[in-house]
Chains A and B, each alone.
Chain A
Amino acid sequence: MINEIILMNGYGVYVWSAFSFTLISFVTLYFVTKLQLSKEQRRFVIKFGSLNVEKAKVAISQNINREILSNTPKI
């Protein structure tokens, strides 16, 4: 049974390489995108932290800024 799945009547090398390429592409794209998102989130938190009280009040009054801060993992 396992051999049948691996060898696939002699086409295993083609089938497995096609599926592997697809899954590797998925994993790579997912982590690259996640890395870019985390980088921007970190940059936002650092910038927000450097604002003075007045500016921070203005920034936090916007819903979207509050959402970004609440969705950013603690750094």
Chain B
Amino acid sequence: MHKHFEPNKIFAITSRAPKYVLFLFIVVLTIGLTEALILSPEDYKQSDAVRIMYVHVPAAWISLGTFSSLALLSVGSFVFKSKNFALISKSLAPAGFIFNIIALVTGSIWGKPTWGTWWAWDARITSMLILALFYGMYLLAWRIYEDKEQAVKVTSMIAILGVINVPIIKYSVDWWNTLHQPPSISILSNNSIHVSMLIPLGIMTAAFALFSMLIFLMKYNTELIKIKNKGLDRL
């Protein structure tokens, strides 16, 4: 099945898609920002500081989702021996890393007015920092190793090892007594967040997902052209 996603076959789509994704991203982001900064209500406890949630939470979700994808693709590249899986994960990582940094920085900014501190060595925050380190190691490994085979092996190991941290991040607020609040949104049980806040959160998540897709497509095209450049040398 994965043969249908061979770079040569899908480049016609991936090379044209970014301009449409960029347009859609700008539209969704504009609606999201209007909702998040103007139309959504303030929180009865946190007042307007709650608006930071609209950038912090989607960034954290996407960085976690991206890292989980890296691990899945790494397993896939071992099982199917497909170089395309490695190429996809390499292209996904930069956006995931940036979202991780955004989650950490905006979380720190949110911490000051709500907890009275910029940083706490609490289980959720520390495990998110560890995730950023794994992202850093993953991206660095692609730069350090000149031999592609070795780079694929090392980065796959980092992704598979690092994904152990993902459930730790998710359940850290349940397993330990943390400063970070427990989740307000759950797929399996009732949400403790009002719909007037859920809508902007959903729109901002969609905007962030589109941005992540945009960066992925541009990065994927860059990597493919790099390979084709080497191909021209060999002609």
Contacts and interface: CB of A to CB of B under 8 A. Distances in A.
Tell me which of B51, B224, B232 has the highest count of chain A C-beta atoms within 10 A of its own C-beta: B232
Contact of A9 (B7, B11, B42, B218): B42
Q: Is the interface of A mostly helix, strand, loop or mixed?
A: helix
The number of chain B residues touching the other chain, given as a range, is: 35 or more
Given A40-B229, A48-B232, A64-B224, A21 B102 contact: yes
Given A14-B52, A29-B95, A37 B110 contact: no
B211 interface: yes
A44 B223 CA distance: 12
A25 B101 contact: yes
Given A44-B232, A47-B233, A68-B228, A18 B215 contact: no
Q: Is the interface of B mostly helix, strand, loop or mixed?
A: helix
Interface residues of A, number: 38
B37 interface: yes
A58 to B, nearest CB: 6
A36 B102 CA distance: 22
A74 interface: no
Nearest to B97: A29
A27 to B, nearest CB: 11
Interface of A: 5, 8-12, 14-15, 17-19, 21-22, 25-26, 29-30, 33-34, 36-37, 40-41, 43-44, 47-48, 51, 55, 58-59, 62-65, 67-68, 71
